Amino acid sequence: MTDAQALIAERGKTHGAFAENARISQAIKAIARGVPGWLELTDVQREALEMIALKLSRILSGNPHEVDHWDDVAGYAALAARSCSYFPTRVS
């Protein structure tokens, strides 16, 4: 087994099968990109949501008890929240 094959096998235990992970992640991202609010987001907020989508797909297709997945979701949400202080609040 090559190093790459060993890494893929190990990640499969926590992340699930890559193809399934990709399918779920792309579905979540398509929903997010398809709503009007997507255009209101900054690049930081968009990227954070896309990374959260990836982490959610790993939770759903892999091991949902892997604490790193949940910590990563919280971390990306915190980065997006921190970026909000750089922009004035929109008044509707």
Place of tokens 């997006």: 80
CA–CA separation, 61 vs 72, rounded Å? 16
Rounded to two decimals, what is the model's pTM? 0.86
Closest CA to 47 of 38, 37, 35: 38
Question: Residue 67 belongs to what domain range?
Answer: 3-84
- If 0-12 CB within 10 Å is exposed, 13-18 middle and 19+ buried, where does residue 54 land? buried
How many domains does one find in the chain? 1
Whether 89 is covered by a domain: the verdict is no
- Could you say which DSSP state residue 34 is in? T
pLDDT digits (tens, 9 = 90+) for 15-50: 999 999 999 999 999 999 999 999 999 999 999 999
Binning pLDDT at 50, 70 and 90, where does residue 87 land? low
Of 2-6, 23-27, 59-63, least confident by mean pLDDT is 2-6
Whether 76 is covered by a domain: the verdict is yes
Whether 92 is covered by a domain: the verdict is no
Binning pLDDT at 50, 70 and 90, where does residue 74 land? very high
Whether 78 is covered by a domain: the verdict is yes
Binning pLDDT at 50, 70 and 90, where does residue 75 land? very high
